[in-house]
Amino acid sequence: MTATSEGEDDAILMARVADGDRAAFALLMQRHLGRAVALARRVTGNAAAAEDIAQEAFLRVWRKAADWQPTAKVSTWLWRIVMNLSIDQTRRIKPDPLDSVPEPVDPALDPEAESARRALRRALDAAIAGLPERQAMAVRLCLVDGFSQAEAAETLALTAGALESLLVRARRSLRLTLAHHAEEGRAS
Amino acid sequence: MTDDEFMVLLDRHGADLALWPDPDRRAAAAMLKHAAEARRQLRLAEQVAALIAAPPPDTTRLQRSILAALPVPAVAAVPRGLVASAGATLMASLAAGLMLGWLGLVNDPLSAPPDDLDQTIAIAFFVDESYGS
């Protein structure tokens, strides 16, 4: 088994996975599993199902590595598998209630500041929920879950320009929401 | 750079100036020194980014679970290079055999003359009797 460097290209890792290299597979997981879970969670709205989907997606990567053609990026291929599995799953399961996931509490903040932060967060969540569906999905992938714009565009089957346009409108809308919320806070 | 131009770039590239293209970042840094409204909008954008960014999920347990569930692939047992070289060797030996046969350099034992065949059978019986004694 050869050593695996941090900067090694995904395509090279895939070639090694095709030869049964578990270390290369583990590195691919370290790079992409978190966002695979996040993407599945975004689409299904169900945390347990998202982990099952991410697991199945990576098992498919392991089984099909020899068939993978380097015409598309590995991550693009992976997001597509996750999206397809997630869409299948949404037909069978109910999403978690929105308030079932407790928001982490920052112990460094005093209760008043923490309360203000939570209020802002709720206002932004409401603003995101009020965005048109594609804008909201672009925001969730890029600004919440940390996908690059290129990855999000490929995942949502959009051109880079179309995705950027969605993000421009969404960022402006969220910034105005926050400004409005801050002004209301000062007025009260 | 005007406030409006800055706002357009802020919405296009986001609140992290380090991710902006070089010329835009340099122009923005210069104008932010004396543009209060641009600084306020940048702070708002930074707040939005910090508030909505989710920490990456902890996947340590899931990674272990996936590694434990990996089936052993057929390709792992025999490296692909070895399969390819074995196939090439087989093809080369088949080609050589066909060529030798076509050129008549190798006798076909099934078309050997009857005398040779009788001799072969006699030797076979002799060997068989020698083992029997």
Pick B45's closest partner by Cβ from A58, A59, A171.
A171
Q: What is the pLDDT of residue B118?
A: 60
- For residue B79, the tally of other CB atoms under 10 A from its CB is 12
Which contiguous run of DSSP H or E holds residue A83? Answer: helix A74-90
Alpha carbon of A180: minimum distance to chain B alpha carbons (Å): 11
Any idea which architecture A10-90 has in CATH?
Orthogonal Bundle (1.10)
Residue A33's Cβ-count burial label (10 Å; 0-12, 13-18, 19+) is buried
Residue of A nearest to B79 (CA): A19
Residue A148: partners with Cβ closer than 8 Å, 6 or more residues away: A142
Q: What is the pLDDT of residue B126?
A: 53
Sorted by where each begins, the domain ranges of chain A are 10-90, 106-187
Phi, psi of A98 (to 5 degrees): -60, -35
CATH code of A106-187, in short, is: 1.10.10.10
The complex's ipTM?
0.73
Residue of A nearest to B70 (CA): A59
**For B19, how many CA atoms within 13 A lie in the half-sphere containing its CB?**
10
Residue A185: partners with Cβ closer than 8 Å, 6 or more residues away: A116
Cα(B129)–Cα(B133) distance, integer angstroms: 6
Q: What is the pLDDT along chain A (188 residues), one digit of tens a residue?
A: 444 454 468 889 999 999 999 999 999 999 999 999 999 988 888 888 999 999 999 999 999 888 888 777 888 889 889 989 998 888 776 666 544 455 555 656 677 777 877 888 888 888 888 899 889 999 999 999 888 888 899 888 899 999 999 999 999 998 888 888 777 766 66
Cα(B100)–Cα(B92) distance, integer angstroms: 12
Taking only Cα atoms into account, the Rg of chain B, rounded to an integer number of angstroms, comes to 41
Cβ contact B44–A34 (<8 Å): no
Do A106-187 and A10-90 have the same topology in CATH? no
Identify whether the C-beta of residue A119 lies closer than 8 Å to the C-beta of residue A133.
Answer: no
- Select the more confidently predicted residue: B73 or A53: A53
* Summary mean pLDDT of chain B: 78
The number of helices, as runs of H, and strands, as runs of E, in chain B is: 7, 0
